[in-house]
Structure 1
């Protein structure tokens, strides 16, 4: 994304002062002219400020006017954040890769607060929040109908504090609750692991202010190893800073070749090209999913269209517009959409997403809510936790007999069998030890059955043969 900082005016000489005064007089004249659209705004402000039953601070009225103006755009990515609001500070900190909270990008859509993607390693990701989850409530506060800024007031909180989110997920019959502890979001956005077959997997969790530099260091280290293939994992990457995506793409796209286009309101295209010789000369592939958004989609599209790499996974999110952020002297911030981002061949992906060259889905159990225990359950109990427990048992190969949230003797037998296999106390109850073991086992099973990663490895190995 582009980030423009409001720096104020620099007055140079008497002529400049005179010009500014003249401009101010002309603007005031236009404002007070009945034919001017600004007349209504001025009069409305004046009437409310001067005569409303309860005195209202002028800052509050101005903030409301700006929020209302942006609301008419019906664009979930154009927002205004008041002075001293935590979200304005977050926007500054994101450029440095430093931020506190739950670590999830959200948008307002159709009266709902919807998750774009959680940040890897964040409280939101650890709790099991997924792209396109609808956040119904934060603790006791309903979020329907709120703006992103309004919802963020209830979602945010000091590090170490607890937050309960009521969540609705497509494909699940019942809403559920996730509890998480707010924390500092990890600043290390690039991680790498080398598989036994000498294929390196580089994971980028988001594009923050240090991502390009971190990627440079990872690539420099890999060049000292005998790596035969490379997988770039952009799954669950909500995007971030546009120029950092260009920096990463330049490692794959030949120097001078197109990485992305940005179109402004006049349709003028700004071209962004690779500014360095490509450093990747081994077979490579890119992993994407429904959490791959914005700058991550720019990178994925560039690597496919200008570097010839296959995209593997599922349809991406589809955020193909960029915003400029203006920070005002009082600490408030306005962000509005001003460009559309396109892939090198002019491919539009806003509201569409990118369709992988090889579509591969994860097992259904990968989308199960995290099992979070509030009490111990046994035969005869009913509830949401028991319904999720039964789905976990089914996914792990233990037949619960039913998945409707009623804990019966068959479910108890399945729990007891699981406890026996895990060498924990066999009591047939859903208790803390059982929940922890079951969550760890399912997480391990998901990692061991990463069908998308397995396919990418197959593609690279076939290329090497």
Structure 2
């Protein structure tokens, strides 16, 4: 979840934390005046009157004397001079000393801005929290684009985990999804450059780019022995986040792909359209939804939870807990089932837990990702920012689901073939080749109804005949070679087969049909 604040809003709060600072100049004057008044009231003989002109001359003398001593010390002394009334932070002495050593001893010119950025980066990395990060101006711009209406890139949510960059979920219809990127894929390199040790923000900055340009991601898929290179053509990624359709005459399905600025409005419009088509029951699909804005999580959850019921709770570092409740006067009153999986994270987990615990809506699928923290972004004046974990969020019952996830009421897995790896269209597979990619192609051909013979990873005559049959049906050049357009056609048909055999949606329809019958 993301919350954006201006850094200037927090200056007063930060200053209040500096309990051991010396008095400011104004405080010194106030204290001096107070002491003088006490002396006057307590003992008149100790009060000394100074004429205005003499007082002004004395004040100038003191100022010039102080300035002279300071200048002398700065010019000739080895010791640091701290101006009276300027707050000091002793915990940063070591940092200042390191900077002074670099400035004095480093053999080349220093880039002061780079050093400051590096120091802030170091503090954020020392937290050991994959969700806290410092972003320079370019990185901050990318971050803000991620929660706006569109951006240019591949369309995938990623995070840093254990020193690696992991895919949380590709965006529906994005180049990343079309290329076969999957949740939990580890991105090892971008255009041949290793990104081991990169932050998520640094990786995003490297992966994003102009529409029409290509980026090559080196992927390690869980359970796979070999890595693979995936070439993805960047595109404009519109943040349409809600997709609706009727499954049958009475049950509609709505998929929410992320929680962006307009998601609540999109959802209301989509539900209204489906109700006009006769929807009496709703399957809400938030699989592979990586989350997004906290405000949207609140408004969307409220659509399904009765007024004044708890949606979730936020616990700050001091142990204070704030409850967020539904303000919806007329929540949706038709039977609903929510479908979740390992790619459902953050705000989508808030929604799942809220509807489950506070509205009794059944959950179908697999245990969610398990992100139980809230992030706040603070913008600096130069348009860089820091994003940091500021609180935990808890379910309505007070459970912290971090690294545990939200469990479904009905645990249902997708078919094993749904997790087959991506085949690179640039790779040419033909007769007599034996490889893991050939074995994957054979399994895909089998699923879409073309018999490749024995599934053993050997591209034999049976495999060639299956490819020829596919090419004929798709009106492609009949070569018997799997590459380019033929590979894309194979994967498109395979993807359609996965949707037709979506066991999680099938179970959701079964549950919702039973609930509709009870009404």
Q: Check whether the contact 1:322–1:339 (CA below 8 A) recurs between aligned residues.
A: yes
Deviations 1:27-57 (A, max 9, x none): 85534xxxx2210011112221332122221
Q: Check whether the contact 1:113–1:151 (CA below 8 A) recurs between aligned residues.
A: yes
Deviations 1:86-139 (A, max 9, x none): x31122233333322212121111221111112212221221211111001111
Instruction: Give the CA RMSD over aligned residues.
Output: 2.5
Query: Which of 101, 116, 128 is the equivalent residue of 2:153?
Result: 101
SS of equivalent to 1:174: coil
Task: Name the CA shift for 1:403/1:138 in 2 (closer, same or farther; >3 Å).
Answer: farther
Q: Check whether the contact 1:111–1:144 (CA below 8 A) recurs between aligned residues.
A: yes
The 5 Å alignment of 1:71-150 reads: 71-83=125-137, 85=138, 87-150=139-202
Instruction: Work out whether 1:327 is the aligned partner of 2:328.
Output: no
Instruction: Work out whether 1:194 is the aligned partner of 2:246.
Output: yes
SS of equivalent to 2:6: coil
Task: Name the CA shift for 1:18/1:122 in 2 (closer, same or farther; >3 Å).
Answer: farther
The 5 Å alignment of 1:61-80 reads: 61-80=115-134
Instruction: Work out whether 1:354 is the aligned partner of 2:406.
Output: yes
Instruction: Work out whether 1:401 is the aligned partner of 2:459.
Output: no
Shift of 1:234: 0.5
Q: Check whether the contact 1:176–1:384 (CA below 8 A) recurs between aligned residues.
A: no
In the other structure, the counterpart of 2:107 is 53
Shift of 1:225: 4.3
Shift of 1:401: 2.5
What is the rounded CA distance, in whole Å, between the counterparts of 2:252 and 2:173 in structure 1? 20
In the other structure, the counterpart of 1:14 is none
Taking structure 2 as the reference length, the TM-score comes to 0.81
Query: Which of 79, 88, 97 is the equivalent residue of 1:30?
Result: 88
The 5 Å alignment of 1:289-368 reads: 289-368=341-420
Q: Check whether the contact 2:185–2:220 (CA below 8 A) recurs between aligned residues.
A: yes
Taking structure 1 as the reference length, the TM-score comes to 0.90
What is the rounded CA distance, in whole Å, between the counterparts of 1:156 and 1:228 in structure 2? 42
What is the rounded CA distance, in whole Å, between the counterparts of 2:113 and 2:483 in structure 1? 52
Shift of 1:222: 4.1
SS of equivalent to 1:164: strand
Q: Check whether the contact 1:252–1:303 (CA below 8 A) recurs between aligned residues.
A: yes
Query: Which of 164, 171, 174 is the equivalent residue of 2:216?
Result: 164
In the other structure, the counterpart of 1:372 is 424
Q: Check whether the contact 2:133–2:388 (CA below 8 A) recurs between aligned residues.
A: yes
Q: Check whether the contact 2:425–2:485 (CA below 8 A) recurs between aligned residues.
A: no
Task: Name the CA shift for 1:390/1:222 in 2 (closer, same or farther; >3 Å).
Answer: closer
What is the rounded CA distance, in whole Å, between the counterparts of 2:201 and 2:476 in structure 1? 45
In the other structure, the counterpart of 2:4 is 3
Say how many residue pairs are matched. 452
What is the rounded CA distance, in whole Å, between the counterparts of 2:123 and 2:339 in structure 1? 39
What is the rounded CA distance, in whole Å, between the counterparts of 2:186 and 2:10 in structure 1? 43
Q: Check whether the contact 2:156–2:171 (CA below 8 A) recurs between aligned residues.
A: yes
Deviations 1:151-202 (A, max 9, x none): 2332122121101111111133322222211122222211211222321111
- Larger C-alpha radius of gyration, 1 or 2? 2
SS of equivalent to 2:311: strand
Instruction: Work out whether 1:244 is the aligned partner of 2:322.
Output: no
What is the rounded CA distance, in whole Å, between the counterparts of 2:84 and 2:495 in structure 1? 65
Q: Tell me which moved more, 99-108 or 233-242.
A: 99-108
Shift of 1:26: 7.3
Shift of 1:254: 0.5
Deviations 1:228-251 (A, max 9, x none): 101111011000001101101111
Task: Name the CA shift for 1:383/1:216 in 2 (closer, same or farther; >3 Å).
Answer: same
Deviations 1:353-373 (A, max 9, x none): 111110111112212233332
Q: Tell me which moved more, 187-196 or 244-253.
A: 187-196
Instruction: Work out whether 1:213 is the aligned partner of 2:265.
Output: yes
Q: Check whether the contact 2:367–2:406 (CA below 8 A) recurs between aligned residues.
A: yes
Q: Check whether the contact 2:425–2:488 (CA below 8 A) recurs between aligned residues.
A: no
Structure 1 unaligned blocks of 5 or more: 12-16
Q: Check whether the contact 1:294–1:321 (CA below 8 A) recurs between aligned residues.
A: yes
SS of equivalent to 2:4: coil
What is the rounded CA distance, in whole Å, between the counterparts of 1:385 and 1:20 in structure 2? 74
What is the rounded CA distance, in whole Å, between the counterparts of 2:11 and 2:346 in structure 1? 35
Q: Check whether the contact 1:206–1:239 (CA below 8 A) recurs between aligned residues.
A: yes
Structure 2 unaligned blocks of 5 or more: 13-23, 30-81
In the other structure, the counterpart of 2:488 is 436
What is the rounded CA distance, in whole Å, between the counterparts of 1:333 and 1:168 in structure 2? 31
What is the rounded CA distance, in whole Å, between the counterparts of 1:220 and 1:20 in structure 2? 62
The 5 Å alignment of 1:379-398 reads: 379-383=431-435, 385-397=437-449, 398=451
